[in-house]
Every structure is written in C-alpha cells, then in structure tokens.
Amino acid sequence: MKIMPMPQDLPEPVLTPNAKTVLSKRYLRKGDDGQPLEDFKTMFWRVAASVAGEEDKYQESSYNSLDLGRSFYQLLVEGKFLPNSPTLMNAGTDLGQLAACFVLPVGDSMDEIFDSIKNAALIHKSGGGTGFSFSRLRPKDSRVGSTGGIASGPLSFLKIFNTATEQVKQGGTRRGANMGILRVDHPDIMDFIRAKERDGELNNFNLSVALTEKFMQSVESGSDYSLTAPQNNQETERLNAREVFSLLVHKAWESGDPGIIFLDRINKDNPTPGLGEMESTNPCGEQPLLPYEACNLGSINLDRFYSPTAEGGIDWEGLREAVHLSVRFLDNVIDLSRYPLERITEMVHKTRKIGLGVMGFADLLFQLRVAYDSHRGLQLGEKIMEFVQRESRSASRILAQERGPFPEYEHSIYARQNLGPYRNATTTTIAPTGTLSIIAGCSSGIEPIFALSFTRQVLDGERLLEVNPHLEEALKNTRSYSDKLMEDVAKKGSIKQMEHLDQDLRDVFVTAMDVPAQYHLKMQAAFQKYTDNAVSKTVNLPFDATQEDVWQIYWMAYEMGCKGVTVYRDGCRAEQVLSTQDGE
C-alpha cells in the first residue's frame, strides 16, 4: 500500500518505557527475520498517513490529506487519541484489517455452525475479537431431522469454538477473544451458567447471559418464566426466575463468570432495527452489534486535557477539537479497513458505526483533585461524556454534509426522530483500553486505577512496573515524602489507610479496591447515559463481599439503565491480570 512520504519536520513521539516495550513487541511491523521494519515515528506516520489518505476520495472535504495526516500524527504522538489496536498494527499494511469488534451469527445447522467457526478464525487472525449468540441452536437432546439422531446443544459447540480459537493466534500478536451469549429463556441456560465452573474451561470466552425485560419482571414478582426451544418456539419447562437470578449472582460472586447483559434495553437503542436484532456484543461487552457487523473503536486520553487555567480545570476547546478529528479519523478507518468477509464489508458500510470513548479519566480526576467516589466525581464523568457525545455527533453531522449520511439512515431511528442526518449510526463506546492505556501512559478507560504502584502482567506473562506519576508529584510536595514512603506505597498499592498522610490526598488518590462497589456502578451509569453503545467497566468488590452485595449491584445496574454488568470479587480467581507487589 502506498503511503504519503513522511515530512522531515515531524516531532518525535513521547513514550514511556512501558509504552516502548509494548509497541516494540507487538505493534512495530517486523520483517521475516523478526527485526523491526519501522521505528515509533514511522509507525505513527504509517497510521496517520494511511488514514488521512482516505480523505482524497471526498471532493467536498475541507482538508487536504497531507495536512490532515500531520494533524492525526500530532494527535497520536501527543497521546491525546489512539485508535484500537488492530488499526495501530495493520493500517497501511497488506493485511489492512482495522476493526477490533465483530459479531457473527451462529445458525442451527452444521453448515452454519462450522461457517461461523471458520469466519471467526479469519477474524482472529486479523486481530479482531468476536461475539456470538448461541441462542438459535436447538437444545441438547433434541432431535436432528436429517439423521434422526440427538443434538449435542450450544455448550458442546461452544467448546469447539474455544478450541479453534486456541489454535489461531491473533495476527501472531494476540490470542483470539470471544464473547458467548445465551438467552435466559434457552432450555440449556442452567448448563450455560455453570459452564466455567472448572478453572481453565472455555478460557478463550467471556460468557454473558442475555436477560430479557420479561425475565427481570419475573424476578421482581417472584414468578416462574418459560424456557422455549428456538427451533419450534415450544415451551420446554418453567423455572423460577428468582432461583435462576440467584444462581447467576452466586456464580458471579464465586468467579466473576458469567456476566449479564440486558438484551431488550440493548435493542431499544438499536439505531437500525430494520437490519435485524442485536443478539451479542463483542468480547469485552462494550459494543453490541448486528450479525456480521464490525466496529472500530478509538479513545481520547482525558489526562491530556487537564488545564489548570481553564474553566473547571479542563481544556474544553482542545477536547472539542480532538473529538472532531478523532471522529473523522474513525470514519476514514471504516473505508480503509479490509474485512475478512464480503458480508461484513456490506454491513459495516451500511451502518458505519464508530465507537469513540475515553481513557485516563481517573488520572484526570487525580490532577483535578476530585475523588472518583464522590458526587463531584460522578457529575464530572457525566459532564465530560455528555460533551464527548454531543461533539462526536456534531462531527458526524458535518461528515454527513460532506460525504452523505450512512446508507441505512433513512430507515434508522434518527430519521424517525427527525434528528439531522449523521454519517455514523453510533459514535460513542467506552472501551477497556487494556493496551492502549499502556501506550498512552494513562489509567484505562473510565476505571479507577488498580493500584497506585503495581506490576502489570501483560498477555504473555511479561511484567512491567508502574508508579502513578500524579501521586508521585503530589507526594513530593508534602513533608512526608521519602524513599521509604514510596516503597510503602509500592508494597500496599493504596494510601487509603496511611494515616500520617493528609486526608485530602487519601480521599482523592483512590484505587479500584478503595472505591465502594456502588460508586463503580454509579460511574458506569453516568457514562452510559451519554454513550450510544455500551460501557466497559468492572465493578470491583472486596474478597469478603456477600452474594447479597452482588445481587444489589445487579439490581442497581438494571434500574440505573446500564446495558450489562461485570463484577469481580477480589482474589476469587487464581490468575489476575494486574497485581500489587503484595499480591505477587
């Protein structure tokens, strides 16, 4: 692929040592001998220039591609915005698959099941993650017409998907991630809820149960609900909704699996119901999609928009500019990306969904000296996301004027609501930013930081040590600062219990475990209010949390309008992704 030549006067990227490690290992293009073919600067130019190159297709564009390439480059190397990993890895390369999220249908026939496995393998190879609903598969022990035999059911096929994933390393750089969904009214639901009971079982899958509005009402009233066989819509059994909900709560308390999604709520926000129903999300839950749809994500690093002299300490003008550029970037990515299947290309081009979100929110709060678990913290989360949502839609409207609305617009909910035409059926998603946050050197997504100082275990077991820079700076300005204090912080990961430090600092510099579960959930709801798609968020609970606590969180998530929820009780699984030194 031809890329505009790199101007000589571009600034060098500013990267932390950890960012350099991650980029060198997985993102720089390598030759057959494993040696890098590019450095950090040429990597960022490859991405910026190839995405900006798409601009030339549009005569009405107010940008020329070279200037736009420079602006994108600047945005990336200042760590203000990063697109999802596949875009960083593959833009401007022969592979050219740039989206992180896909949903594939699984039909109730051998052909359709194995087509889906093959398609998932192609997507994993290109660096994307896949979500599937298994709800259309007939339950185990039902009859198979063609052979007169007995069906083995969704769970047995899930295992085949899992094994196939194991064998396909994603683009040689990361392992395939999957989401498996089953509706709560599927006859095999009890087995599904228990599917990950044994450690290591289905380890390439996150599982979520799709809860319907009807089911939630039955939980509320304590009544029974019916399980229905999908192949003939016949009721097979009735279960008590509260007992099923209790089991879900128990399993989530025990191991964090499965999670839950609120399916009817997700479909209420489906912008193009004429194209079908949403039945699954991507692997980490933040992106519900129609079958064969894909979405590319990108995240703005809020930490970079702290400005002590601006209104409320935030550079709103700079943020507005970054949102507008990022939306243009993500819209260009849709066309630049090469998808592994023609059907996916067709779907993606019909709805043109993008998912702009934020990361570095906890770091911004540190700089503003606002506690995450406070009313002000919640208000700020809501205000920022309302701003990002409004500006991203305004950017999408400008693009619609230049390039036309997304082709399904006339049949979308926006046309019915008389909301001006948009270029994209959705514009906002809060991604986990697992690796992006390391590259940008900020806290991930909208999560509080895991620990003020910790070793981060990256996918293949490598460990990276990190100390929060804002805390270090704040402590340096106190009388208590000493090497011994920093050692203590590294050991404990939290300063909440350090009584010799100022109360203000102890209130502001909180970690995920210091934040009460209700506040985790309230923050998720605050961001969801202004997010088109969904919000990736973990509600952390202490080891001694009870099942009643989990029940309450699930119920709050339902009542506060979340699209799903994931809880994690500290220490309930042997292998954790992040650990403080104490926990090693």
Nearest residue to 93 (alpha-carbon basis) of 294, 433, 336: 336
How far apart, in whole angstroms, are the C-alpha atoms of residue 87 and residue 296?
8
Nearer to ligand UDP, 65 or 435 (CB): 435
Q: Is 351 buried (19+), middle (13-18) or exposed (0-12) by CB count in 10 A?
A: buried
Find the shortest distance in angstroms from Cβ 178 to ligand UDP.
8
Q: Work out how close the CB of 205 gets to ligand UDP at its nearest, in angstroms, rounded to a whole number.
A: 12
The rounded distance, in Å, linking the Cα atoms of 485 and 226 is: 59
Q: Are 119 and 104 in contact (CB under 8 A)?
A: yes
H or E element, residue 301: strand 294-301
* DSSP codes, 94-155: SS----SEEEE---SSHHHHHHHHHHHHHHHHTT-EEEEE-TTSPPTT-B-TTTS-B--HHH
Catalytic residues: 282, 284, 286
- For 163-201, give the secondary structure using H, E and C: HHHHHCEECCCEECCEEEEEECCCCCHHHHHCCCCCCCC
Q: Between residues 435 and 566, which has the closer beta carbon with respect to ligand UDP?
A: 435
Residue 85 or 135: the one with the smaller Cβ distance to ligand UDP is: 85
Closest separation between CB of residue 456 and ligand UDP, Å?
13
CA distance 337 to 298: 14
- The DSSP bridge partners found for residue 568 are 540
- Closer of 49 and 88 to ligand UDP (Cβ): 88
The whole-angstrom separation of Cα 86 and Cα 107 is 28
Contact of 315 with 384, CB cutoff 8 Å: no
Question: In whole angstroms, how close is the CB of 297 to ligand UDP at the nearest point?
Answer: 6
For the bound state, the minimum distance from the C-beta of residue 392 to ligand UDP, rounded and expressed in Å, comes to 17
| Nearer Cβ to ligand UDP (227/344) | 344
Task: Please spell the DSSP secondary structure of 353-380, one letter per residue.
Answer: -EEEEEE-HHHHHHHHT--TTSHHHHHH
Of the pair 83, 139, the CB lying nearest ligand UDP is at 83
Distance CA 240, CA 405 (A): 47
- Shortest CB 84 distance to ligand UDP, Å: 4
Nearest-CB residue for ligand UDP: 129
Q: Cα-flanking dihedrals φ and ψ of residue 358, to 5°?
A: -130, 155
**String of DSSP letters for 59-82:** TT-SS-HHHHHHHHHHHHHTTSEE
Q: Hey, how many other C-beta atoms are within 10 angstroms of the C-beta on 404?
A: 13
What's the min distance (Å) between Cβ of 99 and ligand UDP? 9
- Please give the residue ranges that form the binding site for ligand UDP (CB under 6 A): 84-85, 100-101, 128-129, 174, 177, 282-284, 286, 297, 431-436
